[in-house]
Chain A
Amino acid sequence: MKKLLALLAASMLTAPLFAQDIYSCRNVSLSFFSEAPMENIDAKTDKGVSAINLKTGNVYFKVPVNTFQFKKKLMQEHFNENYLETDKFPSAEFKGKLLNAPDFSKPGTYEVNVEGTLSLHGVDKTYREKGTLTVGDKQITLHSGFNVKLADHQIKIPTLVIKNIAEIVAVKIQAAYEPK
């Protein structure tokens, strides 16, 4: 019994360390840009959330899609109503894993590869993308950019406005993680 208690006590002590494995960020900024003959489209949000498990290399992102802010509000309405159908699919989610997790105990900048599933507009697709992780003192920052092909997620552009919207959208992500 004493042994068991001691064991439990010991594991409790390790608890803070355990928690340190998970770093999270509650104001991930995301932006996307598409260049089209008629007009460029760009939108931003900083309402994304994300977490990284340093031990397992698991990565998670979630963004409420209707928080993207456009310069043209009518565009924003169409984005939500017609293209992303945010009533039906309120958030985009990414669950992935770092393929080459760096040594998080050493500060520095690392190129990482991540693979996982992006669920957007109700359609899952596997992505393998690059990112840059900067490990600092008590903070890890992430920069990443990748392309999303609208057709891959069944985001349909009617032929009538095809000139206004690019078929591939460049997404940028920036997050500053802190211990959970």
Chain B
Amino acid sequence: MTILRIAFLCLLSQWCMAQDDLSKMFDKDTPKEHTPVIATYKSTRIIQGHSTEMLKKRELDFRVAHRFGDLGGEFGGSKTFFGMDNSTDIRIAFEYGITDNLMIGVSRAKGSGDLSQLYEGMAKFRLLQQTTDDHVPVSLVVFGNAVVSGMTSSKTVSDPSHFEQFTDRMSYTGQVVVSRKFGERLSLSLLPTYVHRNRVGYMDQNSILAIGGGGRFKFSKRMGLLVEYFYPFRNQESKDYYKTLGKQFYNPLAVGLEIETGGHVFHINFTNSTAILENQFIPETTSSWLQGQFRWGFNISRRFSL
């Protein structure tokens, strides 16, 4: 009887095969690959801070970032055409993908804050990339830069821009960016950041830790809304001291629109920070949204495959 049963099963299996649903025969060998999640953001930046996106191998990204003057407040309004007549910072950069997981870049930024005429060298490395099956739940990159100011040393010894030696011109940023794409529309990031400036003003902090948060909500295939916020952990004495000088520190908050047009990515954004580089906008933002001291700006990224 067992034989019969086996025979019957054999027969049945043949019959199934002859049934001709050829699609079934590949069902079992669909590869269980950990497919990487792509396009968490459309660009290597969220707004000011880095995203977990990388340039691909042998890709060159030409970037221009621009921040105008205050839209409102004392220096804004119609007399400067809402800040358009001024520029608080401009950065021009060439960034390059050495591998899919390592990119480097050089840039020049005008600078806004204590130091100006900035030259930046940077590197970014991806350690983890989120996968669709959650085998890796997040993407993680580390970013670091070194910035040197080319400005003439101030004659006033107490100025942060008085340089006794070359290293006084230097500042550094180290950052970890963790992102997760939740479905098609929403991406969120966390950006623990460390900024070190070799020379700062009296009672200012050489080293400052900050935590950043950012995200994107995509409302169409090519457009998304961006938000980014940094909270620098500046000590109270420093804050109090600067308050007595009439200078108050604010946390940089930026909102933006991400628009992709093929090889270009445009960002139009509004932010209270004046500077573009992490080394400045995290520890040196002294303008406030609430006083109309925010500006519009843009980031343009054009990628070339070399």
- Known contacts A24-B25, A72-B305, A77-B38: A12-B20 contact under CB 8 Å: no
User: 1/0 contact trace for A15-26 toward B, CB 8 Å?
Assistant: 100110110101
Known: A5-B4, A53-B22. A73 touches B59 (CB 8 A): yes
> Which residues on A sit within 8 Å (CB–CB) of B221?
81-82
Most chain A CB inside 10 Å of its own CB: which residue of B8, B57, B59, B305 = B305
**Alpha-carbon gap, A77 to B43, bound state (A):** 12
Query: CA A125 – CA B59 in complex, angstroms?
Result: 37
A172 within 8 A of B: no
How far, in angstroms, from A53 to B22 measured CA to CA in the complex?
A: 8
**Which residues of the other chain, A, contact B35 by a CB distance below 8 angstroms?**
66
Interface size on B, residues (CB 8 A): 33
Q: Does B29 contact A (CB under 8 A)?
A: yes
Check: B246 CB closer than 8 A to any chain A CB: no
A51-78 interface with B by 8 A CB criterion: 51-53, 55-56, 58-60, 62, 64, 66, 71-74, 77-78
Report if A161-B10 is in contact (Cβ < 8 Å); known contacts: A24-B25, A81-B38, A82-B221.
no
Contact between B7 and A12, CB atoms less than 8 A apart: yes
Task: Check: B164 CB closer than 8 A to any chain A CB.
Answer: no
**Within 8 Å CB of B20, what residues of A?**
53, 56, 58
Count A-side interface residues using an 8 Å CB cutoff: 43
Closest to A156 in B: B221
Against A, the Cβ 8 Å flags (1 = close, 0 = not) of B13-39 are 010011010110110010100010011
Contact (Cβ within 8 A) A77 B39: yes
A4 to B38, CA, bound (A): 59
B261 vs chain A, min Cβ distance (A):
5
Are A5 and B26 touching (Cβ within 8 A)?
no
Most chain B CB within a 10 A radius of its CB, from A62, A74, A164: A74
Known: A26-B29, A66-B35, A73-B57. A58 touches B22 (CB 8 A): yes
A14 (CB) vs chain B CBs: closest residue: B14
CA A19 – CA B18 in complex, angstroms? 8
- A82 touching B11 by the CB < 8 A rule? no
Nearest chain B CB to A115 CB, angstrom units: 15
A11 touches B57 (CB 8 A): no
Question: At the interface, yes or no: B239 with Cβ under 8 Å from chain A?
Answer: no
Measured between beta carbons, the chain B residues less than 8 angstroms from A26 are 26, 29
By CB atoms of chain A within 10 A, which of B29, B38, B39, B100 has the most? B38
Compute the total of residue contacts between A and B using a CB distance below 8 Å: 89
**Cross-chain contact B22 with A51 (CB below 8 angstroms):** yes
Residue numbers in A under 8 Å from B29 (CB-CB)? 26, 49
Q: Specify which of B10, B23, B31 is in contact with A93 (CB 8 Å cutoff).
A: B23
Q: Which residues from chain B contact A93 at a C-beta distance below 8 Å? A: 23
On chain B, the residues within 8 Å of A62 by CB distance are 23, 26
Which of A15, A58, A62, A73 gathers the greatest number of chain B CB atoms within 10 Å? A73
Residues of chain B lying within 8 A (CB to CB) of residue A37? none
Q: State which of A9, A19, A78 has its C-beta within 8 Å of the C-beta of B17.
A: A19
CB-based contact A160/B261 at 8 Å: yes
Kindly identify, within residues 233 to 277 of chain B, every residue whose CB is under 8 Å from any CB belonging to chain A: 260-263
Contacts of A66 in B (CB 8 A): 35
- In angstroms, how far is the closest chain A Cβ from the Cβ of B10? 5
* Chain A residues whose C-beta falls within 8 Å of the C-beta of B17 in the assembled complex: 18-19, 21-22
Q: Chain A residues near B290: list those with CB within 8 A.
A: none
Q: Is the CB of A164 within 8 A of B262?
A: yes
Contacts beyond the supplied A11-B10, A22-B17, A66-B35: 6 A-B pairs with Cβ under 8 Å: A5-B3, A8-B10, A22-B22, A72-B305, A77-B38, A80-B38
- Report which A residues bind B (CB closer than 8 A): 4-5, 8-9, 11-12, 15, 18-19, 21-22, 24, 26, 49, 51-53, 55-56, 58-60, 62, 64, 66, 71-74, 77-78, 80-82, 87-88, 93, 95, 158, 160-161, 164, 180
Give the 9 A-B residue pairs with the shortest CB-CB distance, closest first: A60-B22, A73-B56, A8-B7, A51-B22, A161-B262, A72-B305, A81-B39, A49-B26, A18-B14
